Amino acid sequence: MIDHQARKLHPPSPSYLVYGLGIMFLTVPLIYFGSIRGATEPKDFLAEIILFCLLAIQLIKKQPLPKLCSLQDRIVALFFLFYLGSAILAENYYWSLWGINKWAALLILYFLAQQINEKQQDKLIAVLLTAGSIVAGFAIMNYYGLHFDEVIKTMTCRSGMISTFGNRNYLCAFLAPLIPLNIYLILSRPGNKNPLPYFSFTLLLSTLLYAKTRGALLGLLISVSTLLLLILIYQEREWLKARGRQMATLVGITLILLALLGGTPPFSDHCDESLTQRFSSEAMFDGGSTQARYMLWGLTADMIKDHPLKGIGIGNYGFAMPGYQKDYLTRPENWQYRPYAGWALDAHNYYLQVATEGGLIPAGLFLALLIYLAIRFFMTANRSHDNFQVICLLCSLATLSIHALVSFPLSLMSSAILFWFITGRTNFALHPNIFPVTQTTPITQNKGLRFALLLLLFVLSISAILKFTSDRYLAEGNRLERNKELAASEKYYSDSIKINPFGWRNEERLGAVISQQGRHQEADEHFTLARRNARTDLIDNEEGLNFVRQGKYVKALEAFVRGRSTFPRNFYLNQNSGLAAKALADPLFYGGDPLRATELAKLAFLYLEQALTLAPQIQESTKIGYYLISLSNSLFNQPDEILSRELPTRGIFYFGSEKSPLRHLVEEVSSEEYKRVRLFCSSPNIQDAELPPDADNVRIIPLGTARLYQYQIKTEHTKRAPSRISH
């Protein structure tokens, strides 16, 4: 049985703690996610500084700190100990530093949450719902094309619903777990006629239905269904009867929103799928995002096999992932995933991510925490209305935990602070007999321990401030670079490096603007420094462009192809690889080496064909089309004995699939006598090219596993000549 009397005896917390957490819950979701402008994680910085300051005040004031009083506390402490400890053997300490900052702050939040009493808790939940309502309302404005950022103002519909999060998936990861808390505030008091909780419920659910993020919606559906079931089991009939009107209102709002937003939302340009389409079996299991997750989970399993106990180090997933992806995609059984290759900072499965970065021990401890929470609830629950609070808190955690199976909500600060605050509150709710803990702990008594902890908090705060300030200079440098103010942007990038000399993005961008100003050797030095802490397509592409500006096309091609071998889906690496190969081939066609020229032209053709499938805008597609026509002219002017030579395998190509080969009409020219057609097909089988039966004078150029065809179709008034095929 839960001792409800003990719960009521929990004294109020210091006002600075309540106000500090309230400010964090309001501002962290509202601060703009700056990655679109080149700086990263302002939400992380703000939450870290607030939590470090709150603990520092606790220590200075010698306030009582929670002890490890429950099994839940011990599991959480061990999880953080092993996860943070993985930084000792990390592959890259730079990436681990920011992981330590974030997770140390979340550990502090878990224990601070236990010092909040029930009344203060409800006020903080109301603050969270206020923040959620504001960002949800702004996301709906984004849906219809209203943005405050010039960089993204053209984004509409679901793709434009970034609000202050930079990505609709990040947004929904924060909003979905707020729904059970919203239901708690509405139903906790019978007869409550305050319209604000209903308004926030409408905004939150509307945004989720506009965005149609499947992971968040599935987590919410399962958790709310569980919530309703547990209410029916554990709440008395009188409790349900007293809240019948409120529950009916919530059901009515939900049904109306499903009817309005389940299909194409009103006043939209019909560019989005309906809920039925989003949750169809084909979209769920065969869609591109699902296939990309399969690939990530596969290469993540490789990481775990290589580092089962120590992991690769907290925060190191993005550093190690590119190398593993390259190896993973070279295996024939994984070629089907080549279209989904890219750089990912997270495994899109939080449990696999913890196992990868921290090892199997912290991953097992995290699962043990979730299992313990469920078991403890069923052990202590009884038929009393006080269970309703615990049910809603656990269902909010369940929403995040289910979403974490296919995404990384607990790596996002806005969702993470929600998770660990609620986890701390459930510790109090599930173990009321051992709370409140008011006695002074050894840390607050011992001056040495208190000073050491304050010093650690100071170091962590300084590192967070330096990273944040460096990113602000980086963002301003990006803005100036886009405006072609290269000298000014160089200064900001240099200042960013002075503040954070271990960054990679500031080094890479500084090298880029220096290269554009003609200082190529100096630029190369910055690219080398950037490689210390990043394995990214951005560095390879800029390094290649630096060689292009010097006319060193051989080295440029090597740089582009090196990056492309790890990031085969990068448009710019494919395009630039093709252009570099073309620049090498063109003079050789006239310089007496047609064999080498033909090989390079074939490579250029393949790279540009790949880029064509990835082109972000019609202008890029048109430009690449001209290059493909030029290359095909050069190739078909060569004799068949040169064209028929097989192209040595170079890098990774993933045009189309075996079931659906890619066919691209390169050129079609008509005259009075015939129509000449040039056709690219990603399959080596001539049947897949679907040549017309009246195709004459067919020539075939082998391009690795692909083929380039040229044929003629004679006009009706021209006498047909015997068909012939040359290879």
Report pLDDT digits (tens) over 438-476: 544 555 667 888 899 999 999 999 999 998 899 889 988
The identity of residue 637, as a single letter, is N
Distances (CA, A) of 370 to 33, 257, 301, 344, 382: 29, 32, 22, 26, 20
User: What is the pLDDT of the chain when averaged over all its residues?
Assistant: 88
Q: Are 430 and 376 spatial neighbours (Cβ–Cβ below 8 Å)?
A: yes
In order, the DSSP letters of 212-243 are T-HHHHHHHHHHHHHHHHHHHHHS-HHHHHHT
- Evaluate the omega torsion of the peptide bond into residue 436 and state whether it is cis, within 30 degrees of 0: yes
Mean pLDDT of 348-360: 96
Which range is least confidently modeled, 3-12, 26-35, 601-610, 665-674? 3-12
pTM of the predicted structure, to 2 decimals: 0.89
How many Cβ atoms from other residues are within 10 Å of residue 323's Cβ?
14
Task: Name residue, tokens 């024939």.
Answer: 332
| Cα torsion 461, 467, 470, 475: sign | negative
> d(Cα 42, Cα 32) in Å, to the nearest integer?
7
Supply the pLDDT for residue 256: 96
Does 434 score more than 80 pLDDT?
no
Does 33 score more than 70 pLDDT?
no
- Percentage of the chain beyond pLDDT 90 is 60
Does 511 score more than 90 pLDDT?
yes
Supply the pLDDT for residue 98: 79
- Percentage of the chain beyond pLDDT 70 is 91
Token duo for residue 543: 């390094």
Mean pLDDT of 519-525: 95
Mean pLDDT of 475-492: 92
> d(Cα 42, Cα 47) in Å, to the nearest integer?
9
Bridge partners, residue 665, by sequence: 679
Which range is least confidently modeled, 108-122, 286-300, 371-385, 406-420? 371-385
Among residues 275, 297, 293, 271, the alpha carbon closest in space to that of 213 is found at: 275
Supply the pLDDT for residue 448: 83
Query: Dihedrals φ, ψ of 675, to 5°?
Result: -115, 120
Supply the pLDDT for residue 446: 73
Which range is least confidently modeled, 377-381, 403-407, 506-510? 377-381
Q: Read off the pLDDT band of 432 (50, 70, 90).
A: confident
Range list of β-strands (E), 230-333: none
Q: Are 87 and 96 spatial neighbours (Cβ–Cβ below 8 Å)?
A: yes
Token duo for residue 185: 């505030």
Q: Read off the pLDDT band of 331 (50, 70, 90).
A: confident
Does 181 score more than 90 pLDDT?
yes
Q: Read off the pLDDT band of 34 (50, 70, 90).
A: low
- DSSP reduced 3-state for 666: strand
Residues with Cβ within 8 Å of residue 150, at least 6 apart in sequence: none
Which range is least confidently modeled, 86-100, 417-431, 433-447? 433-447
Mean pLDDT of 380-405: 86
Does 3 score more than 50 pLDDT?
no
Q: Are 538 and 625 spatial neighbours (Cβ–Cβ below 8 Å)?
A: no
Supply the pLDDT for residue 5: 45
Q: What is the DSSP letter of 692?
A: -
Among residues 230, 169, 245, the alpha carbon closest in space to that of 393 is found at: 230
Q: End-to-end CA distance of the chain, in Å?
A: 83
Q: Read off the pLDDT band of 39 (50, 70, 90).
A: low
Q: Are 653 and 705 spatial neighbours (Cβ–Cβ below 8 Å)?
A: yes
Q: What is the DSSP letter of 570?
A: -
Residues with Cβ within 8 Å of residue 341, at least 6 apart in sequence: 295, 325, 329, 567, 568, 569, 652
Sheet hosting strand 706-714, strand order edge to edge: 663-670, 674-681, 706-714, 696-703, 725-726
Q: Which residue has the higher pLDDT, 721 or 291?
A: 291
Q: Read off the pLDDT band of 409 (50, 70, 90).
A: very high
> d(Cα 368, Cα 75) in Å, to the nearest integer?
8
Supply the pLDDT for residue 65: 73
